[in-house]
Amino acid sequence: MGPQESETGSDKFRLLVKLSSNTPVFGCRMFPIVRVSRHLSFLQLEVPPHELTFSWYREQTSSSFDRDKGSYHCSNSCYVDAWEKHKVYHRYAAETVSETLSNNQQEVRNIKSYGPDKYWPESDFVVGSSSDKNEKVMEPDGKIWIKVGSSKSYAPTEHDIGHRLRLECAAVDCSMGTNITPVNITVTDPVIYPPAHPPRSTIKCVWKSWNPGLEAHSSSDLTFSVLSYNILAGIYATGNRYSYCPEWALSWEYRMQNIINEIIEYDADILCLQEVQRDHFEDLLKPALAKCGYSVLYKTKTKEVYTPNQYTIDGCATFYRRDKFKEIVKYELEYDKSALPFVEKLEPELKKDGRFRLLKDNVALVVILERVKNEGSFDGNQPRICVANTHIHASEKFPDVKWFQVVSLINGLGTIANSKIPLLICGDLNSLPLSNPHSFISKGILQSVPNKETDPLGVYQYLRPRPIYKLKSAYACFFQSDGIEEQQRRKMDSETMEPIFTNFTSEFTGTLDYIFFTVNSLRLESVLELLDKEALGSGLPSPQWSSDHIALMGSFTFTLERSSYQGQRLLPYLPSPWRTAAAQ
């Protein structure tokens, strides 16, 4: 049911209220978009200063649920399907209350019974309280609505499942205290319980030998895990693009919470996320992961995008567990600035095309982290790791742009790698296995020499690529490990040794995402299992998986001798390695 307006209130202005989906989902907070507009006959009037009021109601209906026994599942199978999702909320609760437990991790783990609403700010009303204590609204047709909240946003609880919600919103004149618009009434579809996604396990790598002459440290203190995940920014998750996905599962409120749940389940030490929308980062992702012990670095792209509500932008976010790592130095690479010197050197007739092709808004976020010394760790210098998080330009019409951006990144990272700091490159390269960007990173070679059609501006002749020869793909290394099971092998391409897909939509299926690492300083210990395409239906995103990409994760152990850590004290670099690379 769509928005309805009452007959009372001013006829000069109207209140527009929009929900991202008309199907509320249990535990997913709803944030209505609200705007006061003028009627066509009063366009000359200024909208007076006003405040917005919100009232949320739940429809009171007869229910087959046995509330006296505390059960909200209609059958055993319903309960089993819901349990996997419910376990995530226990994790949320434990992380949330950890802030008040003096960082006593054991106490946090002992918490057993918190509901999902504990993650969100508390409601104005007692969830599950007697209906007699809450305000009621009765419509002429006899329908009864029980008030459940008075904030702008609302997170449906278990008591709302199967019931419709009603939002009443009004704009009140600040000086007069009267409504300047009719009350807007929005009634939703019944609240649903979301499906759980199947768990993904980690698969241990078995090596008969790894880099002879180098011994990996056996201490778990020197082992860490890294996740790379393009989470699909809300500005790109449209019904036209992903028509096979239900509207409620495309709403950013649902997708963001589902993605947060998924990320927390993986429990990685370092998270490299791409397509992180700025407002979603600030409102949800950053505070949620901060409660789980993560610090974060964030770099937006260089061009904003207009949405119906506001200008916004997405970018790369790198999270790391603050009890395991600390930031030493951060570098931000804007590829349009890297390309500008080349564009300015072009012949006058080529400059316009050069600006259009090369001055793209993609970025890379590079951070050098140092292992935090704690009880049980060895004395002396702690190891460092350089983590590069990037999202390369997407259009297949511009292979020269992809090549330029990847070479710009690698040329700067080479300066860091030369100081014996282990290196990880995570991200969405928007490049297939065995393409020039992929081959240059993993093999130090070009798979094919660019021609006039693929390189109309002569980028190949301008660049002076300096490969880092010790970089390998984590999943390609896993494919070469000993004892890999056939179940996993069939999810990978035997020619490229990469996953068959990391991006799956109705229009494209292929691998675009990677985790590269320096094999002379890190040993791959395990990877996150891949997904079966056959089990994913028409494509991603879906109600179970909320991005059109899948997450990749690897666990690594430092293999450098401890004496080598002393050489890592040379950082931070001044100036930036990318300024040095450009000068060379």
| Range from 353-357, 366-370, 378-382 carrying the lowest mean pLDDT | 378-382
CA pair distance 205, 223, nearest whole angstrom: 14
Across 444-462, average pLDDT: 91
- In this prediction, residue 310 carries a pLDDT of 81
Across 364-377, average pLDDT: 86
Selection from 168, 139, 132 nearest residue 151 by Cα: 168
Across 384-412, average pLDDT: 96
In tens, the pLDDT along 505-532 reads: 999 999 999 999 999 999 999 999 999 9
DSSP characters for 234-285? GGG--TTT-TTS-HHHHSHHHHHHHHHHHHHHHT-SEEEEEEEEHHHIIIII
How many C-beta neighbours within 10 Å does residue 326 have? Answer: 15
- In this prediction, residue 375 carries a pLDDT of 59
Band the pLDDT of 98: cuts 50, 70, 90: very low
Bond before 182 cis per omega within 30 degrees? no
Length of the chain: 584
- In this prediction, residue 109 carries a pLDDT of 38
Fold agreement (4-66+116-187, 218-583): no
CA pair distance 324, 341, nearest whole angstrom: 40
In tens, the pLDDT along 150-189 reads: 999 999 999 999 999 999 999 999 999 999 999 999 999 9
Q: Which fold has domain 4-66+116-187?
A: Immunoglobulin-like (2.60.40)
- Is residue 131's pLDDT more than 60? no
For the chain, the average pLDDT equals 85
| Range from 75-89, 247-261, 485-499, 522-536 carrying the lowest mean pLDDT | 75-89
Instruction: Give the chain's largest Cα–Cα span.
Output: 83
Selection from 511, 426, 420 nearest residue 474 by Cα: 426
In tens, the pLDDT along 226-265 reads: 999 999 999 999 999 999 999 999 999 999 999 999 999 9
Q: What single DSSP character describes residue 41?
A: G
- In this prediction, residue 138 carries a pLDDT of 82
Q: What single DSSP character describes residue 380?
A: S
- Is residue 77's pLDDT more than 80? no
- In this prediction, residue 215 carries a pLDDT of 47
The residue ranking higher by pLDDT, 96 or 33, is 33
| Range from 60-69, 88-97, 574-583 carrying the lowest mean pLDDT | 88-97
- In this prediction, residue 65 carries a pLDDT of 44
Selection from 444, 441, 360 nearest residue 400 by Cα: 360
- In this prediction, residue 220 carries a pLDDT of 52
With 0-12 / 13-18 / 19 or more C-beta atoms within 10 angstroms meaning exposed / middle / buried, residue 472 is buried
Provide the whole-model pTM.
0.86
CA pair distance 361, 366, nearest whole angstrom: 17
- In this prediction, residue 574 carries a pLDDT of 52
Bond before 572 cis per omega within 30 degrees? yes
CATH number attached to the domain at 218-583 = 3.60.10.10
Band the pLDDT of 62: cuts 50, 70, 90: low
Band the pLDDT of 409: cuts 50, 70, 90: very high
- In this prediction, residue 221 carries a pLDDT of 61
Beta strands, E only, 22-135: 33-38, 50-60
DSSP characters for 463-490? ------TTEEEHHHHHHTSBT--HHHHT
Rounded to the nearest 10 degrees, the angle between the axes of helix 76-97 and helix 252-266 is 80
Q: Reduced to 3 states, what is the DSSP secondary structure of residue 582? A: helix
Cβ 468 vs Cβ 518: under 8 Å:
yes
The residue ranking higher by pLDDT, 203 or 44, is 203
Cβ 160 vs Cβ 58: under 8 Å:
yes
- Is residue 292's pLDDT more than 90? yes
Q: What single DSSP character describes residue 230?
A: E
The residue ranking higher by pLDDT, 406 or 97, is 406
- In this prediction, residue 180 carries a pLDDT of 92
φ and ψ of 266, to 5 deg = -70, -30
- In this prediction, residue 464 carries a pLDDT of 85
- In this prediction, residue 51 carries a pLDDT of 96
For residue 105, give the H/E element and its range. Answer: helix 105-110
In tens, the pLDDT along 388-397 reads: 999 999 999 9
Selection from 182, 179, 223 nearest residue 202 by Cα: 223
- In this prediction, residue 289 carries a pLDDT of 98
The residue ranking higher by pLDDT, 331 or 46, is 331
* Four-CA torsion 225, 226, 227, 230, nearest 10 degrees: 180
- Is residue 134's pLDDT more than 70? yes
- In this prediction, residue 43 carries a pLDDT of 72
* Four-CA torsion 237, 240, 246, 249, nearest 10 degrees: 10
Q: Reduced to 3 states, what is the DSSP secondary structure of residue 341? A: helix
- In this prediction, residue 254 carries a pLDDT of 96
**Percent of the residues in the chain that have a pLDDT greater than 70, as a whole number:** 79
The residue extents of the domains of the chain are: 4-66+116-187, 76-110, 218-583
